[in-house]
Structure 1
């Protein structure tokens, strides 16, 4: 995806999120257990401001958030965070340097992509919490989100912070997963202390196959299916292998 496209998606999903979170601040968020819509709103605002600092100061400041943020209303914090983030994106090129947790990409463009994906997932959270219809996720954004989740979150996290995955992968017999979303596909392989991702169907059989539309697969992998029954994703394979990949993604995205 072009970076201008990420920014367009970020704007659209932020605007939808902002409109939805005002409708029922006390509603529980089923996809974020323990959170209300107000907590979700505050979280997104804090994330925006944290990434703004990472862009402007070249450091991912910790601890975060500052104590004084607790005194701001959640929607005010969201508004301030979004304004700061967009102002930073407006005066910087994607290739400009920025601090990120992802070693291979220390650029502003990383945060353009990441904030577009962060926002669409939390927009879905807000819609599910308030009972609003879930607006469609554009296919290109959904495909990119699957790619980011599998490669940037899961594979990179296992490679860099393998100790966090010991309970999941140490005894893994090794599984191969085929993830198909529309015309796009990824082959994921796990094993003891290992998770790798390659593009395309690859060769040979897979132990588990996920298939569906890009939006449906994105929501399934992010555990944002909602409670409406059939989510449009077909899963074929052993339940224990499916659970292994699910647990890897949960640990990688915590």
Structure 2
């Protein structure tokens, strides 16, 4: 697996925003988004574009606290037909903010890394997952570069312990059981459940339960709950895997 720089994450995030905007252009915004129950494309776009602008504003200010996104003027068009262009315009705003700051500069984040560079990686994968949601909603193939998808799986595992708004995360403990996520492309992770926490490492070893997929993009959809594990090979304790997937949500 490659190691990413802040600038590479910024560039990849801008690419994902453009791809998502392209998927949405000319679509009816009332189309349901089945992977985000209760949402339609309009809600998906306003959420994603709003998060970009919220993060960009905090990065520009090197915010020491969380800003209230609900109280911010996002400049949303009155006509929903303008939503894809509005989403796309957020790429420049986000990139400018992220590249204007030292990636090591301290600021508020909700993850473990309290620095600017948290947001370049987070915005890449926030957008990527919602781009996949849009593609699934309109019925077009979802393609993700292997290096981006692999980083996305690892990012999910890195930030999951900090998703404290989900009480299920606190229950992800055990007695040494392991969950192995393996892609045929050579990317792999093993999650270990300890009595006081869980941790993960890159590894190609099987676990108490092992999920095997063709690509990291498949694994990305599995960990984010966008695909059923029934589509893939599962070896070992399927009950452990079901328990993990039920609780491991962001």
Residue number in structure 1 paired with 2:132 = 124
Q: Counterpart in 1 of 2:50?
A: 46
Q: 1:81 aligns with which of 90, 94, 102?
A: 90
Alignment counterpart, residue 68 of structure 2, candidates 63, 66, 80: 63
Worse overlay, 24-33 or 52-61: 52-61
Matched residue pairs, number?
239
Aligned 8 A contact 1:42 1:77 in 2? no
TM-score, normalization by structure 2: 0.83
More displaced stretch, 25-34 vs 124-133: 124-133
Q: Normalising to structure 1: TM-score of the pair?
A: 0.81
Aligned mate of 1:188, from 175, 188, 191: 191
Q: Which residue of 2 aligns with 1:207?
A: 208
> In structure 2, how many angstroms separate the alpha carbons of the residues matched to 1:142 and 1:110?
17
Give the SS at the match of 1:25. Answer: coil
Long gaps (5+) in structure 2? none
Q: Secondary structure of the residue that 1:65 maps to in structure 2?
A: helix
State the secondary structure of the residue aligned to 1:236: strand
- Aligned residue in 2 for 1:217: 219
In the TM superposition, what is the alpha-carbon distance from 1:80 to its structure 2 partner?
5.0
Distance verdict in 2 for CA 1:61–1:173, change over 3 Å: closer
Paired residues of 1:208 and 1:236 also in contact (CA < 8 A): yes
For the structure 1 residues 128 and 56, does the alpha-carbon distance in structure 2 shift closer, same or farther, using more than 3 Å as the test?
same
Deviation at 1:211, TM superposition (A): 1.8
- Mapped partners of 2:131, 2:11: distance in 1: 15
1-structure distance, mates of 2:211, 2:108? 34
Residue 32 to residue 238, structure 1, CA distance change in 2 (3 Å): same
Q: 91, 103, 109: which one pairs with 2:117?
A: 109
Structure 1 pair 201/133, CA: closer, same or farther in 2 (3 Å)? closer
1:98 lines up with 2:107 in the alignment: yes
Q: Any unmatched runs of 5+ in structure 1?
A: none
3-state secondary structure, aligned to 1:26: coil
Q: Does 1:133 align with 2:137?
A: no
Cα RMSD between the aligned structures?
Answer: 2.8
Question: SS in structure 2 opposite 1:102?
Answer: coil
Q: Is the 8 A contact 1:56 1:98 kept in 2?
A: no
| 1:130 Cα deviation from its structure 2 partner | 1.2
Q: Note if 1:157 corresponds to 2:159.
A: no
